[in-house]
Amino acid sequence: MTQVSSPHADIVVVGTGIAGLAAALALARQGLRVELLGPRAPLPAPEAGRFDPRVYALSPASRGLLAGLGIWDALPAERIAGVRRMEIVGDRPAWGDRPGRLGLSAWQAGCDHLAWIAESRELERVLRQAVQWSGIRWTTEDFVALDGARGAPGLTLRTAGGQALQARLAVAADGADSKLREAAGLAVSRSDYGATGVVVHLTAALPHQECACQWFTPDGVLALLPMHDTDEGPQVSMVWSMPRARADALLALPDHERAPALEARLAAATGGRLGALRVRSPLFGFPLTLQHCPQLAQRGVILLGDAAHVVHPLAGQGLNLGLGDVQALAQVLGGREPYRAVDDPRLLRRYQRARAEPLLAMRAVTDGLFHLFGSRAGPAAWLRNAGLDLVDRVPLLKRMLVNGASGIATRPWPGGPTI
């Protein structure tokens, strides 16, 4: 028998990853009664000199949000690496003696860093601690169904364990395959890139000097992100968006063949930019898709993070977009008129309008770059390499690109620093 075992809340956040935890904290900071719904799987303990396979490039805007929530200073300094420069190298065209190149630096944006590389596990760990300290109620069960609340405005969220959580607003932060989004009837558009993101940690022979490097190769987009150095030497995290067949063939190799095969490919793709690169962790692969929801809010349900959008990782902006959703939602609900309830349709429309432009722009940029650099036709190769060279020679274009890449914003975060 289903029991209503939770007191009425303003908001229930469904999803307990980074975006969901950050949303719960940010909304609670606005004086709202917030509950979390979702599993709390054990996190492996960090190992000295070993990094979580999944890392994120956090923009200055995302760092500002986390700092405003009291999260940033709780992250261990030895698990974070700054990015002061980016180098982008095009593919070698059918004619000409070199690929196009583009260099970006933090000083062009007037900031110390373009981004910071942080591990998923460490972000989730400190967010969980903050949720616990804040007193936010956390129901560690799976969401299974959504009903209109009986006898009162709002919603009833039913769990696998038979509980019924009542709230005026439900936030779907439960990932790309969101069950809450499906239960709310919000449509989603998906397309498969036919590619796999292969991730691994590497030891480099040469120092990375806080530079993130990206190559557009016949085997897809390769990125090497600087990590905190260890006793073994300079560390970088690799994300290589390979055509699926090539990625599958690499991942299917026996253990003793996989690392040498990848190291040989890296030497050819990078031209020795960081010297010899040595594999120091298992390889993982995940399918790459483009996904977006035309409508981000409907009848008391709001989407954010991967439940709302998934973009190609070549720009490294997936989590930054999700944290941008969190910031926008907190600003909309925290700044609402006193007479409006949190599920007022006008507020839901304000949130959707606030996110429409940045989401469309990032989707267009990442998808457009993927198709431009994925084309092997001669004219496309000339165009993309000429474009990189042109931007590299025009300071104004570089400054605009750096500002966009770093996610610099000017609006104040409620209760926190200007970002």
Whether residue 356 is contained in a domain is answered as yes
The domain of 308 spans: 9-50+120-190+290-373
Q: What is the pLDDT along the chain (419 residues), one digit of tens a residue?
A: 444 444 578 999 999 999 999 999 999 999 999 999 999 988 887 776 678 888 999 988 999 999 999 999 999 998 899 999 888 887 665 545 566 667 777 776 677 888 999 999 999 999 999 999 999 999 999 999 998 744 456 899 999 999 999 999 999 999 999 999 999 999 999 988 899 999 999 999 999 999 999 888 888 889 999 999 988 999 999 999 999 999 999 999 998 999 999 999 999 999 999 999 999 999 999 998 888 899 999 989 999 999 999 887 766 678 999 999 999 999 999 999 999 999 999 999 999 999 988 878 777 766 666 655 555 544 555 555 555 554 444 454 445 455 555 444 333 333 332 22
Whether residue 112 is contained in a domain is answered as no
Whether residue 151 is contained in a domain is answered as yes
The domain that contains 184 carries what CATH number? 3.50.50.60
DSSP state of 387: H
Whether residue 156 is contained in a domain is answered as yes
CA pair distance 298, 223, nearest whole angstrom = 37
DSSP state of 136: -
- Whether the full predicted model's pTM is greater than 0.75, yes or no, is yes
Structural domains of the chain, count: 1
Q: Give me the helix-helix angle, 395-406 and 378-393, nearest 10°.
A: 100
Whether residue 88 is contained in a domain is answered as no
Tell which residue, 6, 218, 267, 190, has the closest CA to residue 93. Answer: 218
Which residue type is seen at 72? W
């492996």: which residue's tokens? Answer: 44
DSSP state of 106: G
DSSP helix/strand/coil, 76? coil
Whether residue 84 is contained in a domain is answered as no
Whether residue 130 is contained in a domain is answered as yes
Whether residue 134 is contained in a domain is answered as yes
